[in-house]
């Protein structure tokens, strides 16, 4: 795997293979997180077998700060997340975050630079977590998706896997300072494979719009199903 020549540590980090100790550390922390998920929020996962091998974009609905931890229950593979690069100036903190799958992105950089770094992560064969709603939302309707996840999937020619998370808003909503025990259900949908031209990296407006709409529709269905299962308990 070739690393681009750059003075930016965050860029080179994005595409280097994980070290063995990082994978062990991630596995250890993930085990603790999964135990907490099961005990505090009685997490039930449906459809994890639908996760494809190789790189893909994991696209969950976003109703709680817990969502980042909850999706760790979906797979033993190391998931990758974007983080503000300022945190990496603290060496120990940066090392821990890197081992846990996060990678630095400069705060305030152009969207195309952030997307390029995401593509570099995918080119390394690892799954990338992106919340299509951008930030935590509230309520039963999935709407106003940003097109970043769809664009990166088209650019990298990788599938998007939608995930509905029911109950996380009740467990820790935007208005609450602390989480509380609640039932949470995660449902993994069928991977959405983008319609791409294998001979070109060009992303058309029509393909971007279609993929975004397909993702929105899938997320709404999965979110409704997950919420229904939570409420039936």
Asked if residue 109 has pLDDT above 60, the reply is no
Asked if residue 158 has pLDDT above 70, the reply is yes
CA atoms of 192 and 219, how far apart (whole Å): 11
Residue 12 binned pLDDT confidence (cut-offs 50, 70, 90): very low
140, 37 in Cβ contact below 8 A? no
Number of domains, the chain? 1
Q: Domain range spanning residue 205?
A: 17-231
Q: Give start and end residues of each alpha helix (H) in the chain.
A: 9-15, 20-41, 67-70, 91-99, 111-123, 148-156, 168-171, 205-231
- Note whether residue 1 is domain-resident: no
| CATH code for the domain in which residue 194 is found | 3.40.1130.10
Strand ranges across the sheet with 185-188: 44-46, 185-188, 160-166, 57-60, 128-129
- Note whether residue 109 is domain-resident: yes
pLDDT (tens digit, 9 = 90+) per residue, 43-54? 999 999 999 999
- Note whether residue 173 is domain-resident: yes
Q: Which run of H or of E encompasses 166? A: strand 160-166
Asked if residue 10 has pLDDT above 70, the reply is no
* pLDDT in the model for residue 15: 57
More confident residue, 89 or 1: 89
pLDDT (tens digit, 9 = 90+) per residue, 13-60? 445 778 898 899 999 999 999 999 999 999 999 999 999 999 999 999
- Note whether residue 212 is domain-resident: yes
- Note whether residue 58 is domain-resident: yes
- Note whether residue 7 is domain-resident: no
CA 94 vs. chain centroid, Å, equals 19
CA atoms of 42 and 36, how far apart (whole Å): 9
- Note whether residue 5 is domain-resident: no
DSSP code, position 192: B
68, 129 in Cβ contact below 8 A? yes
* pLDDT in the model for residue 184: 97
**Per DSSP, what are the bridge partners of residue 58?**
129, 161
- Note whether residue 93 is domain-resident: yes
């Amino acid at each position: 795997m070739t690393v681009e020549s750059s003075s930016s540590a965050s860029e080179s980090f994005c595409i280097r293979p994980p070290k063995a100790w990082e994978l062990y550390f991630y596995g250890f922390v993930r085990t603790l997180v999964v135990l907490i998920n099961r005990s505090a929020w009685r997490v039930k996962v449906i459809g994890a077998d639908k996760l494809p091998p190789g790189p893909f974009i994991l696209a969950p609905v976003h109703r709680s700060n817990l969502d980042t931890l909850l999706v760790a229950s979906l797979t033993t593979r190391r998931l990758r997340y974007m983080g503000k690069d300022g945190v990496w100036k603290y060496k120990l903190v940066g090392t821990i975050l890197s081992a846990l799958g996060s990678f630095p992105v400069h705060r305030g950089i152009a969207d195309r630079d952030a997307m390029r770094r995401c593509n570099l992560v995918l080119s390394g064969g690892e799954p990338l977590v992106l919340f299509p709603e951008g930030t935590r939302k509230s309520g039963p309707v999935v709407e106003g998706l940003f097109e970043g996840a769809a664009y990166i999937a088209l650019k990298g020619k990788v599938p998007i896997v939608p995930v509905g998370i029911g109950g996380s808003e009740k467990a820790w909503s935007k208005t609450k300072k602390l989480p509380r025990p609640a039932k949470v259900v995660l449902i993994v949908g069928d991977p959405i494979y983008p319609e791409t031209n294998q001979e070109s990296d060009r992303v058309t407006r029509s393909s971007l719009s279609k993929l975004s709409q397909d993702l929105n529709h899938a997320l709404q269905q999965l979110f409704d199903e997950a919420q229904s299962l939570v409420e039936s308990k």
